[in-house]
Amino acid sequence: MGLGLAAFLFVAGCSRSPAPPSPEFEQASRRWTALYAQKLDDAYLDPSIGEIEAQLQRVPADSVDSAASQDLLQRIQAGRTRMQAALEEQRRAVANAGKLPTLDPSSTDIPSTPAPVAEEPADAGPEDAGVIAGPQMGTPASQLVAGFEGCFTRGTPVTVEERGMRDTWQLSDRASCQLGYPTHRDSVLVIEDGRVLALLPKSAMRTVRRYEDGGTVPANDGGR
């Protein structure tokens, strides 16, 4: 009887339940969720992300939240690497692009960048009148989905020479959008690497038909 009781106590003493939930993981997870909801993919480059990573690294290895904390930590690190690479690519594109991209004639006919023409301002306006509302070159494409009052919708993809097929966005026909973003009424936003590469005037784009033999003809030319 005594030996059996001793064996039971030994087995019971060896069993070990996981550590309780980690407050560090709970706080870090809550902070990350709020940050990403506010900034989307830009959250990966936010200065406060370092504090969140530090909290995740402090989660005990025997905690029930250990696996979840490591998974979140890896996702944050991978997202930061991806966003840093995209940002560096965007910087190189801005540095190397002194003019609008040349597009494949099979999809568009865009002239070279015209010289700026000075115009008389219609109205002096308020002090911040020089600030253009709406997405500009470098704006993350993720902001076009839910940002800017939902005034931008996907357009027809275009083929950019030496870059391939690229998505486009354009301003919605809703009256509130037309009034809120007047400078984007006749523009097309070309997207590359998750950001706005360029704003092109619709008047500079011409749709053409491509035949099997490689020839092209303007869509409104009737095949003549």
User: pLDDT by residue (tens digit) across 92-115?
Assistant: 888 876 555 555 555 555 555 566
Question: Which of these three, 96, 129, 152, is where a domain ends?
Answer: 96
> pLDDT averaged over the chain?
75
Q: Which residues are CB-contacts of 57 (< 8 A; sequence separation ≥ 6)?
A: 73
What's the predicted TM-score (pTM) here? 0.38
- Tell me, yes or no, whether 211 and 149 share the same domain: yes
Q: Across the strands, what pairs with 154?
A: 169
- Tell me, yes or no, whether 146 and 216 share the same domain: yes
**Strand, coil or helix: 74:** helix
Predicted confidence at residue 81, as pLDDT, reads: 92
Question: Which of these three, 96, 113, 134, is where a domain ends?
Answer: 96
Question: Which of these three, 66, 81, 96, is where a domain ends?
Answer: 96
Residue 92 resides in a domain = yes
Domain hosting 206: range is 142-221
Residue 33 resides in a domain = yes
Among residues 206, 198, 199, 186, the alpha carbon closest in space to that of 104 is found at 206
Residue 6 resides in a domain = no
Residue 58 resides in a domain = yes
Predicted confidence at residue 214, as pLDDT, reads: 56
- Tell me, yes or no, whether 27 and 82 share the same domain: yes
Residue 125 resides in a domain = no
Q: Tokens representing 70?
A: 């490591």
How many domains does the chain contain in total? 2
